[in-house]
Amino acid sequence: MARKCNWKTGCDVEATLAVVGGRWKPVLLFHLLDGRKRFSDLCRMTPNATQRMITLQLRELEADGVVARHVFAEVPPRVEYELTAMGRSLEPLLLHMRNWGEQYKRQAELQD
């Protein structure tokens, strides 16, 4: 269920940022491009984020319909996350962000 937003105001970039904007959301989405991941794997892949922050960001992504959460009735409990079709459509954007970041880091290294 998507979060409620007034999409009639603002531009399309605002709509995109409403979904992917967040300190760790793009990073989590990028990791999920490789397929379904357990919560513990996402925490390990994002060591600078707290578990609480990862949980909050994943909940928002789930509410926006770009991430699906799967809970397994096991002991110990297992939770996995994966991109929905709408989340998968973010792949070109995420890959461009990665490429831009690589370019930016190289440029910054040259200036040092």
Q: Is the model more confident about 3 or about 51? A: 51
Contact status, residue 30 vs residue 98, Cβ threshold 8 Å: yes
What DSSP state is assigned to residue 4? P
Q: What's the predicted TM-score (pTM) here?
A: 0.88
CATH of the domain at 77: 1.10.10.10
Residue 1, pLDDT above cutoff 80: no
* Number of domains the chain is built from: 1
- Would 51 be classed as within a structural domain? yes
The whole-angstrom separation of Cα 46 and Cα 58 is 13
Residue 2, pLDDT above cutoff 60: no
- Would 2 be classed as within a structural domain? no
- Would 49 be classed as within a structural domain? yes
Q: Is the model more confident about 104 or about 15? A: 104
- Would 3 be classed as within a structural domain? no
In sequence order, the β-bridge partners of residue 68 are 82
Contacts of 15 (CB under 8 A, 6+ apart): 5, 7
Query: What pLDDT score does 15 carry?
Result: 85
Give the residue among 6, 43, 3 at the shortest CA–CA distance from 20. 3
Contact status, residue 26 vs residue 94, Cβ threshold 8 Å: yes
Three-class secondary structure of residue 38 per DSSP: strand
pLDDT band at residue 51 under the 50/70/90 scheme: very high
Span 64-91, pLDDT tens digits = 999 999 999 989 889 999 999 999 999 9
- Would 4 be classed as within a structural domain? no
Query: What pLDDT score does 94 carry?
Result: 96
- Would 21 be classed as within a structural domain? yes
Domain, as residue range, for 85: 12-111
Give the CA radius of gyration of the chain: 16
